[in-house]
Amino acid sequence: QATPEQQKILSRYVGWGGLADAFDPEKPAWAAEYTQLKELLTPEEYTAARGSTLNAHYTSPTVIRAIYETVGRMGFETGNILEPSMGVGNFFGMLPEEMRNSRLYGVELDPISGRIAKQLYPKADITVGGFETTDRRDFFDLAIGNVPFGQYQVNDKTYNKLNFSIHNYFFAKALDQVRPGGVVAFVTSRYTMDAKDSTVRRYLAQRAELLGAIRLPNDAFKKNAGAEVVSDIIFLQKRDRPLDIAPEWTQTGQTEDGFAINRYFIDHPEMVLGRQEPESTAHGMDYTVNPIEGLELADQLHDAVKYIRGTYQEAELPELGEGEAIDTSIPADPNVKNYSYTVVDGAVYFRENSRMVRPDLNATAEARVKGLVGLRECVQQLIDLQMDAATPDSAIQDKQAELNSLYDSFSAKYGLINDRANRLAFADDSSYYLLCALEVIDEDGKLERKADMFTKRTIKPHKAVDTVDTASEALAVSIAERACVDMAYMSELTNKTSDELAAELQGVIFRVPGQVEKDGTPHYVTADEYLSGNVRRKLRQAQRAAQQNPVYAVNVEALTAAQPKDLDASEIEVRLGATWIDKEYIQQFMYETFNTPFYLQRSIEVNYSSFTAEWQIKGKSSVSYNDVAAYTTYGTSRANAYKILEDSLNLRDVRIYDTIEDADGKERRVLNAKETTLAAQKQQAIREAFRDWIWRDPERRQTLVRQYNEEMNSTRPREYDGSHITFGGMNPAITLREHQKSAIAHVLYGGNTLLAHEVGAGKTFEMVAASMEAKRLGLCQKSLFVVPNHLTEQWASEFLRLYPSANILVTTKKDFETHNRKKFCARIATGDYDAIIMGHSQLERIPISRERQERLLYEQIDEITEGIAEVQASGGERFTVKQLERTRKSLEARLEKLQAEGRKDDVVTFEQLGVDRLFVDEAHNYKNLFLYTKMRNVAGLSTSDAQKSSDMFAKCRYMDEITGNRGVIFATGTPVSNSMTELYTMQRYLQYERLQELNMTHFDCWASRFGETVTALELAPEGTGYRARTRFSKFFNLPELMNLFKEVADIKTADQLNLPTPEVEYHNIVAQPTEHQQEMVKALSERASLVHSGTVDPSQDNMLKITSDGRKLGLD
């Protein structure tokens, strides 16, 4: 340990910032210093020192004092302080006297600076290493320091996805390290605030409140580190949960000289401590802040800090029982996992963020907790041993023996870990479900056996390959480790250039026209990705690119071979009302088939509104009753041909009603069966005439066939292969089947996915492995699993069986009680969990934010308003404008209702959870999604608004927005059970933007391309007769529909999987009804007749009651 005299000398060390020349052997003027450094430093120290010249600029005491003065004014006195890039610890050295009781934690990458800091501050907890190697989430009360500046990134898998420069990375990670209410006070490059791209600032603003910022003059660090740059001091206070907001300070404005700077400094010029002026640089004119002569920086800072608003919030103590928690709380131990029990000096404590408190436990419960804490520590040590591939089997066996001994001792005293008493005592601990997974429980809740962890290696440690020989091996490793073709990484593996790799892999990978990597190099994808999807569009792009650059000729050749075979007219079914057919063709058919007189063709026109997906025939009633075609050949006296054509275009069966007076003198409409039947015959005649007409003209046929092939026959489904996936951290005793690996590859590389696999196919493991691999590869950060309420604990058990080291959070009913919900959702938002598992009903209780709902409604209203203007500008018909006006008023009414509800600040919203993958098990529970249709009385079309389905749809749209249509995974063995319309519903959840692209977001547009309603007789629900029922049950153009559906659907049937299921023998046993049952059936029929006629109050009797009684009767 250094003496005080030695410490005084060491404290004058300021690092290597600004001394890059001393490390350059080509600089003669620095030759002596270069030689001396080479002699004094080890190779590792020399490399680290040379690397630190980029950003090792130490902070002046004046600036440090101002930062402490600011946080002191906020009310900070003592707490856990983090300095994540501490150098030799100047901030620690200048800690004010009133803050001396704080606990200091430092991180320093440079080994020399780090070792000096340890000598200067022996009581501080200092890590010599990169900030990326530490993780004490939600632990610190204050993060303070001068972060490294630079345009390079830090390799931290948790944050790689953000693509933040090093200075912005420090902000993002520091916010996760401080607890809610904690403060981050950093000196940073001005570009954190001034960058044109506001992505970083929006990220920070969602997670923290800007308390204020001070812009320093360019000489603030000149004396200390030889640097002349414009820097900012930024003060942020962490929110308890993220908010979907973008305040003013996330945007930039312009100075009088035309330079882009942050709106905050434009609105608060008093926070700029100097003259904002242009300066000439090697890259042209740039913005700078020159010091004001005669003013001392210390005085300026003292004046500026008065404008920093904010109040430091003391850490909230956990609410655990009625004990005097405030008197027994102690600072949190950073080595204790957040939201966990621990034992300190023989007493039980519970950690929540930066404090630990004594829970209110009786003696027996406390003894249970102590035993479970011991078990948890042993399990965690065993997991750590297994995660290291170098650990010998003997060390693991010794730890397993210890675990067996601890478990046997605990279970002999307190029963199974899964028993209710242990659950009540320990369920709040974040590792409770990990301990539950130590027991394999049978259906009766008894112990079947101990888990494999007691006797086997249950974790396969992940070890990335360092070097390979061939380009194809490098590609396999790149896909396995980076989930993409990473040419720079492949070059490191093979020591080959990108050009050499591309040449060797020609035909296996393809360079994508018009796309480049972040460093400007060409972007490559695998053949299975490039030669799938909309290959017609890709071919056109490749052909244009090849005209400019012959390197793309190979793309043209491969895509030409991958084109789908063109369909001819005989293979395309065109239905009257298909929205891909231009209205001009429908109008031409109408004029030719109905022999519309020329003088009437100006007044009888076909109109189609894409906003409402509705057809209308203008002037349909202007035809003379003497018109044979309109009123006899294709129409009736009650409905002329034009009216029937309009209904046909809108997919409606023609209905003719009469108006009669009932016994009370009230008018009501009744169906005229005879006239309706006659009109239906005419409707069928028009449909058949259209089928004959549409392909008759060669030019029309050629145009429509080309259009259909371009729109609907342009997709080549991608085949996914997951054989290369390594599954690091998975239980090696479990081997996934090939179809499971391929399904996981679909989730990883294909975006939104529907796992439509038969029961028993292993969907649970598919979803678990997909989420863990996605996180390992940096494709996502936090997955939310939504499962049936009664299966949450079973899911947790299966999750930990497959990945024993996973960090999961399982919700309970208690978590969603009113007084717990906000805190629990904040725990989800701020925790670094691999997965959160919650029940279907619990998801409904976390709403989409009101701001998002309002924004969506405003967007729809603006879209409708633009549509009205467009229709009016083009001389469109009043019918379209009226339709759109009606739709707009409906949306405005919904908006007013939403705004009238008032804001609830304590409501935690879905966006604030921070999840970026949504896995939904048993997704068929959400099939009753509202759809608008003009069809009438068609069975299987849900026009009721099921709240949970609408809620799920809104959340899927949000996930699409933040993940680029890659964040939603549904799983169900029955995606289509009652009606093929359920297939459309699944597409709306998972392929909404694709449906938009094809103009099929309206159900009727989708139905007009792929299906038709069929009316047939079926048994009435009351069981005493038959009724005519219209169902959406006839389909055509199925290959194109399935190609579209399989873009998201991974379909596996029992036949394909050869599942080990027993042969079933069915026996039909007919039981003769008793006389009493026959009377009951007759009564059911009479009740149904009264319900259908509307003569009975629905509260007294209805079809639900009747069918329920019928089921009971069948069991009697």
For residue range 966-988, list pLDDT tens digits in order.
999 999 998 887 777 889 999 99
DSSP 632: I
The token pair at 372 is 């479970």
For residue range 18-64, list pLDDT tens digits in order.
555 666 666 676 677 667 766 666 666 666 566 555 555 567 889 99
Mean pLDDT of 299-327: 74
Contact of 20 with 115, CB cutoff 8 Å? no
pLDDT at residue 960, as a whole number: 94
Q: Give yes or no for residue 526 having a pLDDT over 60.
A: yes
Q: Give yes or no for residue 324 having a pLDDT over 50.
A: no
Task: Give 752 or 896, the one with higher predicted confidence.
Answer: 752
The token pair at 850 is 């009101």
| pLDDT grade for 203, boundaries at 50, 70 and 90 | very high
pLDDT at residue 830, as a whole number: 75
Q: Give yes or no for residue 879 having a pLDDT over 70.
A: no
Mean pLDDT of 620-633: 91
Name the residue type at position 1068: N
Distances (CA, A) of 57 to 14, 148, 1015: 7, 8, 80
Name the residue type at position 285: M
Model pTM? 0.77
For residue range 725-740, list pLDDT tens digits in order.
889 899 998 999 999 9
| pLDDT grade for 877, boundaries at 50, 70 and 90 | low
For residue range 380-437, list pLDDT tens digits in order.
999 989 988 888 999 999 999 999 999 999 999 999 999 999 999 998 898 999 999 9
pLDDT at residue 1007, as a whole number: 87
Task: Give 339 or 1060, the one with higher predicted confidence.
Answer: 339
- Residue 62: CB atoms within 10 A of its CB come to 18
Contact of 1081 with 1023, CB cutoff 8 Å? yes
The token pair at 606 is 């076909």
| pLDDT grade for 326, boundaries at 50, 70 and 90 | very low
Dihedral sign (CA 774, 780, 786, 790): positive
Phi, psi of 143 (to 5 degrees): -115, 130
Phi, psi of 23 (to 5 degrees): -105, 5
Closest CA to 716 of 1053, 1039, 985: 1039
DSSP count for the chain of H helices, then E strands: 43, 35
Percent residues over pLDDT 70 in the chain: 89
Contact of 350 with 318, CB cutoff 8 Å? yes
For residue range 927-945, list pLDDT tens digits in order.
888 777 777 667 666 656 6
| pLDDT grade for 917, boundaries at 50, 70 and 90 | very high
Question: Among 27-36, 166-175, 473-482, 1004-1013, which is the least confidently predicted range?
Answer: 27-36
Beta strand 140-146 with 178-189 is: parallel
The token pair at 791 is 């299966």
For residue range 575-594, list pLDDT tens digits in order.
899 999 999 999 999 999 99
Question: Among 213-222, 278-287, 500-509, which is the least confidently predicted range?
Answer: 278-287
pLDDT at residue 1029, as a whole number: 67
Percent residues over pLDDT 90 in the chain: 49
Query: Helical H runs in 453-552?
Result: 471-482, 487-494, 498-504, 527-530, 535-548
Question: Among 193-202, 353-362, 989-998, which is the least confidently predicted range?
Answer: 353-362
CA–CA distance, 1099 with 777 (Å, rounded to integer): 57
DSSP 620: T
Question: Among 571-580, 670-679, 815-824, which is the least confidently predicted range?
Answer: 815-824
Closest CA to 333 of 316, 349, 315: 349
pLDDT at residue 818, as a whole number: 73
Beta strands, E only, 977-1066: 1011-1019, 1026-1035, 1049-1052
Question: Among 96-100, 693-697, 802-806, 883-887, which is the least confidently predicted range?
Answer: 883-887
Q: Give yes or no for residue 1028 having a pLDDT over 80.
A: no
SS3 635: coil
Mean pLDDT of 361-366: 91
CA–CA distance, 834 with 153 (Å, rounded to integer): 23
Question: Among 233-237, 894-898, 1012-1016, which is the least confidently predicted range?
Answer: 1012-1016
Closest CA to 204 of 171, 162, 244: 171
Could you tell me which residues come within 8 angstroms of residue 513 by beta carbon, excluding any fewer than 6 positions away? 541, 542, 544, 545, 552, 555
Question: For the chain, what is the radius of gyration of the CA atoms?
Answer: 35
Q: Give yes or no for residue 15 having a pLDDT over 80.
A: no
pLDDT at residue 4, as a whole number: 67
| pLDDT grade for 905, boundaries at 50, 70 and 90 | low
Query: Helical H runs in 28-110?
Result: 31-40, 43-52, 61-74, 90-93
Mean pLDDT of 158-183: 92
CA–CA distance, 1087 with 1077 (Å, rounded to integer): 15
For residue range 127-167, list pLDDT tens digits in order.
988 899 898 888 999 999 999 888 888 888 888 888 899 99
Beta sheet of 208-215, edge-to-edge order: 125-128, 103-108, 80-83, 140-146, 178-189, 231-238, 208-215
Mean pLDDT for the chain?
A: 86
